[in-house]
Structure 1
């Protein structure tokens, strides 16, 4: 990785792809790497970003409004590839040992899988991924399933209840006759000293095994080959429960029963196998079933094991422009969908260790900001690779874990690769911030904690693009909050932003956001040599103002708050005149259309 320019990028071969087929094998390695890491970088690839035009960001969004938009998207879309990269610094050499993975993620349905989730896709996002070589087959076919903690608890409770005794079912007379016949056949089978007298034969497929016209087992001395077990015919879940109940009651510890799936048949087509047993063997079998159920639950938790490992280690978490990555992670894998910004912030603090957003650091850190012209991830890493000199070297092969075969070169928009270069960017920026100058990088022997301390002002601050508040502060109040945002109300449908700009001149309106036909938010900028107070006073004196009411807006609260300021002089009367004029114009237009229609009829 030594060198400059494009050579700063690692090969994508240093990212290991993980699907459900090799997840169990990779998980212990990842857990060990996370436990030893100084920090972990993440990235996600999504099935969509905007659940409609109304969810796109706006420069005058409050944090509450932006959170509501992102939350709506998080409820609609999902992460289908999750990148994780671990970084461990050797203070003696200044080299980082790096491991990176790209996990394909998709909810698995069926026995032991995820809930049957409704997933939405945005065409623009899917086309973007396709254009960048995303392998959808690996996501949809090989994607790793997952459970949220709530879903895990429901499954665990269900598993625990399977071992509990239930109220016995009273048999109907016709079912009792068949059950007695089955018990007699099992007793005869148990009495055979050397070979069985009866076994289950082929299922004729006629009718329900629980119905009065079909037995629960088949006698076939030609197939009397199994001394150790006695199989019933396939039956419904209710009939199988009756068989378990009655056979256990009749024979106690002498037999054991279990439901098995018919080979090659759907998962619901099962039969009961009765085996010779004793108390010790039954206890061992019960313990084995309980362990198998726990193993099945652990497998169903799936990809969330990766996030739980990061959570438990409380290792610093690094990402680039993390707003959507974190919101989707919390909604999809932890079931957090709170509309409260305060509750969301608390959940992030409770779930993860310190969080760093490399896009925010690149745009704010004094040692980095003057030297980069773009904070887009690919361009940022290229620039940092040129600027950080010695720290552009992470050691041969990054000391990386097993690699992905058949890949090469820089492959952005692969979640594993993006996580890898995001972690690189963080390492480079902390080194630059720790150095007296970029030309004299002397921080190679520093500990990671010392390096991280140099970017502590941006710890737990999440970059928020195109928003009135540029970041979400997980630890403190909503700062910085713009104080030059006002609501202009009482507008008529004919008023356009051009007229508002003319009304406030020589001062100016920057960003604006229509709330409805009669209200608009504006960002008021005073003319050179004037204060914001001057600009506000000017609005008060506007003759025939196109607005009747002005309110100062605080966008930094949990909900935007409005403070009434005044009604501009003469504005109310001017508004009434405009409304009368608009009404008269609409009436004249309607009459003209009606007259035209009459002419056409004639």
Structure 2
């Protein structure tokens, strides 16, 4: 028994070694080595041609209909991406600065383990987020180290949260004494300024007089009366202010005192703020204090920003950012590291491109490489693309030691490989012309910022991707009807056969696909037939065959506007049929003249191959 156990352990160890040998060396970054990795990746980002990003989240959607589908307009796709980004947390963020020299891919992969926590005890960030159990199970199977994430993951604050945090932790924030002047003074402003000026002048005099060899008790009483405190070893005076206007008035008044340095203290509550005035002994001492404050402020800001420093580095570098599903990925990046997501897709795109002006999506690039064979995984897609290249693409990872091999974060390297293969194929596209005024390559000029949402296919934690085998067809949302209330176990093929034999409205071409187990979508390719079918279903007109029986058993049909209202509702049920039933009872909001372009859009790109076919699950 002992021999069998030893043999089993040896075989398991050998299997693990074989598994590791097939992986690449990727630097794993936690709180312990974050400062070192940050300094290293900064140089690599600015010296690279591109920066690839990928991430592991706690989930993407709770049920099949909640992911982006081919039936979704850009408006609805954004609502789904927004909801997913706000609900689920990023636990792992892989960043890979890379360059391409001849046929060699030179990559520098880093995998950052993240976990938001209130490191600074200021009530941010929020602790709450959702988890998708199947997603976490998939991560566990791939070897994701949850202990490392929870105990040693790097925290962060978004830019919006940082601004709020700085106000709360204002005791280390120095204020520019050359701040702009306040507006024209009122009588109340003049009285306030004179009162504070007199107080500061009296305090300075007391502090300077205390240096004389007077009685210690008398000096102490003078400081108490003047309200003097200590900031380190230097005298300090606290001034209460009730508004930003009073802050400006105090700063303007302090310009007359060359030996003081003002600081903003934490907010006491409500609108009450505190300004600290620190007295220095000389010009040299003042410069020393200001340097100390700048260093302390920068250290504090670094601790507040956390991992967001990496996001800011990528943004500052202005390098093209490569992602596989950039719409969903950047919705998460925006929500977690920048600010709350805007209400509309138009606002989101405009704001995002101010931070990341160059985004390259391999999903978009794949659509330009048709016709392709279908491949079930990312590795297979890369292999297929490599066969079309005249020279192989080798990958070099110069930074890492050969022993630093880890499975976590390896998708970002596969993404780099896929991008380089697509680049090699598409860069000879005759439609690409270089602009004399642009520093960008023709390839980047032609394909940058095409990250219109495409339907998800599979989980981001898996390697499954789509290779398009047929072109999409444009169809108006007026030609779509959602069917709900059919019997359990119904399939798209069965529903289509029942519809085909029920009425003349189905004599022309139409398509049926399952959205989830409770709902199917019918696409009519003849304009007007969807409206006719809805009238038939609503009028009680006698239909033929099985459909008549299904209607008596509760089969219902709703239009696309009902689906739109369901997607806009606050509460999303697990089954789409429940959401559509609730939305059916809602009144449509009148269309305003200022309706956004996303809401006006009423055309989708239908590709039947991209819909979930539950018959195959």
TM-score range, shorter chain: 0.5 to 0.7
Would the aligned equivalents of 2:25 and 2:405 in 1 still touch at CA under 8 Å? no
Equivalents in 2 of 1:249, 1:431: separation in Å? 72
1:551 Cα offset (Å): 6.9
Give the 3-state SS of the residue equivalent to 2:127 in structure 1.
Answer: coil
Paired residue for 1:465?
A: 455
1:45 Cα offset (Å): 0.3
Paired residue for 1:321?
A: 325
Q: Following superposition of structure 1 onto structure 2, how do residues 88-127 of structure 1 map, counting pairs within 5 Å?
A: 88-90=99-101, 93-111=102-120, 114-127=124-137
Pairing 1:293–2:297 present: yes
Give the 3-state SS of the residue equivalent to 2:301 in structure 1.
Answer: helix
1:248 Cα offset (Å): 8.5
Please list every run of 5 or more consecutive structure 1 residues that lacks an aligned counterpart in the other structure.
1-6, 168-185, 193-242, 259-276, 438-446, 468-478, 526-531, 564-602
1:104 Cα offset (Å): 0.8
Equivalents in 1 of 2:280, 2:444: separation in Å? 62
Q: Following superposition of structure 1 onto structure 2, how do residues 59-458 of structure 1 map, counting pairs within 5 Å?
A: 59-90=70-101, 93-111=102-120, 114-160=124-170, 246=224, 249=227, 255-256=233-234, 279-280=281-282, 283=286, 284-285=288-289, 287-362=291-366, 364-365=367-368, 368-374=369-375, 376-394=377-395, 398-403=396-401, 405-407=403-405, 411=407, 414=408, 416-434=409-427, 449-452=441-444, 456-457=446-447
Over 3 Å counting, the alpha-carbon distance change for 1:300 and 1:121 in structure 2 is: same
1:328 Cα offset (Å): 1.0
Over 3 Å counting, the alpha-carbon distance change for 1:500 and 1:561 in structure 2 is: farther
Equivalents in 2 of 1:131, 1:549: separation in Å? 41
Please list every run of 5 or more consecutive structure 2 residues that lacks an aligned counterpart in the other structure.
1-17, 176-191, 193-209, 237-278, 431-438, 458-471, 565-595, 604-617
The superposition leaves residues 251-299 of structure 1 with CA deviations (integer Å, 9 ceiling, x where unpaired) of 88995489xxxxxxxxxxxxxxxxxx98359744564245213311123
Give the 3-state SS of the residue equivalent to 2:479 in structure 1.
Answer: strand
1:81 Cα offset (Å): 0.6
1:310 Cα offset (Å): 1.5
Equivalents in 1 of 2:109, 2:27: separation in Å? 6
1:508 Cα offset (Å): 4.4
1:560 Cα offset (Å): 6.4
1:463 Cα offset (Å): 4.8
Equivalents in 2 of 1:253, 1:537: separation in Å? 76
Would the aligned equivalents of 1:17 and 1:404 in 2 still touch at CA under 8 Å? no
1:326 Cα offset (Å): 1.4
- TM-score calculated relative to the size of structure 1: 0.59
Give the 3-state SS of the residue equivalent to 1:103 in structure 2.
Answer: strand
Give the 3-state SS of the residue equivalent to 1:482 in structure 2.
Answer: strand
Over 3 Å counting, the alpha-carbon distance change for 1:15 and 1:118 in structure 2 is: same
Shifted more, 320-329 versus 110-119: the winner is 110-119
Give the 3-state SS of the residue equivalent to 2:139 in structure 1.
Answer: helix
1:500 Cα offset (Å): 4.1
1:377 Cα offset (Å): 1.9
Shifted more, 142-151 versus 539-548: the winner is 539-548
Paired residue for 1:43?
A: 54
Paired residue for 2:585?
A: none
Paired residue for 1:14?
A: 25
Equivalents in 2 of 1:514, 1:371: separation in Å? 26
Equivalents in 1 of 2:600, 2:473: separation in Å? 14
Equivalents in 2 of 1:81, 1:537: separation in Å? 47
1:80 Cα offset (Å): 0.7
Over 3 Å counting, the alpha-carbon distance change for 1:384 and 1:514 in structure 2 is: closer
Would the aligned equivalents of 2:64 and 2:515 in 1 still touch at CA under 8 Å? no
Paired residue for 2:599?
A: 559
1:13 Cα offset (Å): 3.8
Over 3 Å counting, the alpha-carbon distance change for 1:11 and 1:191 in structure 2 is: farther
1:303 Cα offset (Å): 1.1
Equivalents in 2 of 1:450, 1:324: separation in Å? 26
Over 3 Å counting, the alpha-carbon distance change for 1:38 and 1:290 in structure 2 is: closer
Would the aligned equivalents of 2:98 and 2:105 in 1 still touch at CA under 8 Å? yes
Would the aligned equivalents of 1:82 and 1:105 in 2 still touch at CA under 8 Å? yes
Equivalents in 1 of 2:230, 2:26: separation in Å? 56
Give the 3-state SS of the residue equivalent to 1:461 in structure 2.
Answer: coil
Count of residue correspondences: 427
